[in-house]
Chain A
Amino acid sequence: MTPAQVPVAVWLLFAAPISAILFGFFVMRPLKPEWTHWPILASCAVVVAAAFSLTARVLGGRSFDVNLYRWAATNGWAVDAGIRIDGVGMAVLSMVALVGSLIHVYAAAYMRGEKGFSRFFLVFHLFFLAMIGLLTANNYVQLYLFWELVGVSSYLLIGYWFHKESARKAALKAILVNRVGDFGFLLALLYILATFKVSHFHLIYLQVSAGQGLAALPVIGLLLIWAACAKSAQFPLYFWLPDAMEGPTPTSALMHAATMVTAGVFLLVRSWPLIAVVPWLPHLVAGIGAFTALFAGIVACTKKDLKRILAYSTVSHLGLMMLALGLGQVGLAVFHLVVHGFFKAALFLCAGNIGHAIHKPTADVDEVGGWRKAMPVTYGIFLVSSLSLAGIWPLAGFYSKDAILDAARRGGGWIGVASLAIGALSAFYIFRMLFLTFHGDRPEQQQLSHHPHEGTLDFVLPVALLAAGAAFAGLWAPHLETLLVYGWHGLPMGLPNMPGTLNLPGSPIIPRLDWHDALGVGSLMAALGLAGAYYLTMVDQSWDWRWRAASPLLESVFESDFGWKTLMDAIASGTVSFARVVGRTFDKGWWDGLIEGTATASRRGADALAEFSQGRLNDYLWWMAAAAALLLGGALR
């Protein structure tokens, strides 16, 4: 395929957001800032259409990978700018485009009248553009550039309310923790270039399949997993994500569902043919994922801030995607990524609606309660999305999440046991949140004087569409499977005995759960969690307050994520103090001492020499004569 044959949809995928951002910045922002969202919403529509037409193309077996421009070349290797429209990219991009666009529509309503509306929308769309670029890159260098652009946009959006110190700190934390991961990616990138002499995914897949560069793969895989742990908020680098709630709610929704955290999982899916050939790396990924899912699930049960509960839930579900990958279920990981995008975006936007009703950026479970009558539509949306998240049959979450837990259970070991707990915990925390928010008029809330109200149609409609996705996205599974099996551009995945092709490791097959699996262990655990949440919020209404009052120590343990946040804070402040000491010793002490010593020495020397100069005219003449005699003597000799 030559550049001229690249379908117009690919160009639109980039041309629409770029021109919308430029038009918004140069025309709308100076003239009519409150209209900045119009060109951007138009661009969203174009992107959705383009993404789905390309998905249809790949489903029809016409995936492609084309270099458009040689960006840098040396004797040893070259870096190209290119486009790869393949199954895994389109599987994620179709979800990202759809969910991201619905969040754009919601953001237009949510941010209306906000100071800095146009700044918000331009950066928001840049975030979206970065993700599109990341998903269509055909080599690691290009992927890395967009990966960084995602990081920068998230920094700008988390710190959107930059007059708030907490927002500034959260933004700084997010970008610093991400830098730690980016450093891993950079090392991986350099090692890949040094080993394979190319950065194109396709050529690397071919080389690895031919058995080249295998010795470098353990380190490369480890570095890539390190990078993914920061971006996808996995233990030990997860802790920036819950603080990232400081941004406006649409930012959280976009970040958690579509653009930011999925990048890490996507990176691992892209690199899976490299990682999976090292036998112990998938186990590591599965271990990290299971541990993070369990850990974040426990912590989510104890949080009070609505958005914070959802943030930990995202960490937990990203852990599940990692777990699925680690088990070799690439198809399941991508499937859950897509389903999670829908229900998590819907849940976040519901939290946005709740916050909007009390005119605050976020709400605490103490401030809300019994709102199902005041906000019936939001309640319905929240209920559907929660059921999907908890994995209740027949919603989409059941087919994706329970299949992962099922695979983990069949794998056995501690991960199998953990999977049972994860199933119960996710039902518990989401229904605890639902009951505390929408049910139960607890005595503690009688004195609250809020008058919650449902938002207008533009607040409700995009969220309802997302909830519909959360309910029915399971139907997309066969198409995702086709995309992943045949969409690797001539390298089918995990299907042995296909003549004339190479097989990539990892199974693209999405295990289909049947309705009678709903009577199995997974659903039992979800039901247990749901019942537990019901009992501890509706029957024993003051439990949530009682245990906090009874044991402040326990609460502080949960508040600090079992001490991990305290440890990380200690490391961060330790680094700062260390840098301060180093700065004082080396910069102030040695280096400045050297410079100031030079100055002092010259000053002292000058003072000493000045003693000879008494200002007497005859002395000067005498020296002049002596110097002239010396010079003359030297010249004549």
Chain B
Amino acid sequence: MSAAIWAITGVLFAAGLAMAVLRRQLLAMLLGVELMLAAVNVSLVHSAGLFSDAQAMAAVAIVIAVAAAEAVVGLSLILRALRTGRGVEAGAYTELRG
């Protein structure tokens, strides 16, 4: 049981990471980050049961709040980016080029 849950969370996390790293659309990258957070939440809930520790539950609550806030900031940034007329492709924003 435990191994299945670990595998699911691992796959979910890896999928989120791949999405964030490989996809070029900002919205998709944001989705990938959300997916990684969700995967971590699942593993935290499982560990809380495993070790009978409520602190993990508290961490989950905080992660959910942070994820929500992050979604708000991320979406509004993407909206701003859209308004500049340069599109929502990550390749269009290279201001950090060295």
Contact in complex: B29, A614 (CB < 8 Å): no
**Interface 1/0 per residue, A618-636 and B, CB below 8 Å:** 1011100100000000000
- Listed residue (B17, B26, B95, B98) with the most chain A CB atoms within 10 angstroms of its CB: B98
- Residue in B21, B23, B96 whose CB lies within 8 Å of A615: B96
Interchain CB contact (< 8 A) of A611 among B23, B90, B96, B98: B98
- Chain B residues, Cβ within 8 Å of A625: 17, 20-21
**Which of chain A's residues has its CB closest to B24's CB?**
A618
Q: Residues of A contacting B85 with CB < 8 Å?
A: none
The reply on B94 being an interface residue by CB < 8 A is: yes
The answer to the question of B62 belonging to the interface, with a C-beta cut-off of 8 Å to chain A, is no
Q: Which residue from chain B places its CB closest to the CB of A606 in the assembled complex?
A: B98
Decide: A622 and B98 in contact? CB cutoff 8 A: no
Q: Of residues 40 to 98 in B, which have CB atoms within 8 Å of A's CB atoms?
A: 90-91, 93-98
- B95 close to A615 (CB less than 8 A): yes
Chain B residues within 8 Å of A617, by CB? 26, 29, 90, 93
Bound-complex Cα distance A63 to B21 (A):
98
Q: Which residues of A have CB within 8 Å of B23?
A: 618
Nearest CB to that of B97 among chain A residues? Answer: A615
B22 within 8 A of A: yes
A613 with B96: CB separation less than 8 A: yes
Whether A621 pairs with B29 at a CB distance below 8 angstroms is: yes
Tell me which residues across on chain A come within 8 A of B93, comparing CB atoms: 615, 617
Complex Cα distance, B96 from A610, in Å, reads 10
Which residues from 595 to 618 on chain A have a C-beta closer than 8 Å to any C-beta of chain B? 609-618
Residues from chain B with a CB closer than 8 A to the CB of A610 are 98
In addition to A615-B97, A618-B29, 17 A-B residue pairs with Cβ atoms within 8 Å of each other are: A610-B98, A611-B98, A613-B98, A614-B94, A615-B94, A615-B95, A616-B90, A616-B91, A617-B29, A618-B21, A618-B22, A618-B23, A618-B24, A621-B20, A621-B29, A625-B17, A625-B21
Cβ contacts A to B, 30 pairs, < 8 Å: A609-B98, A610-B98, A611-B98, A612-B98, A613-B96, A614-B94, A614-B97, A614-B98, A615-B93, A615-B94, A615-B96, A615-B97, A616-B90, A616-B91, A616-B94, A617-B26, A617-B29, A617-B90, A617-B93, A618-B21, A618-B22, A618-B23, A618-B24, A618-B29, A618-B90, A621-B20, A621-B21, A621-B29, A625-B17, A625-B21
- Using a CB–CB cutoff of 8 Å, the interface residues on chain B facing chain A are 17, 20-24, 26, 29, 90-91, 93-98
Per CB-CB distance, the 7 closest pairs between chain A and chain B, nearest first, are A610-B98, A615-B97, A615-B94, A613-B98, A617-B90, A615-B96, A622-B21
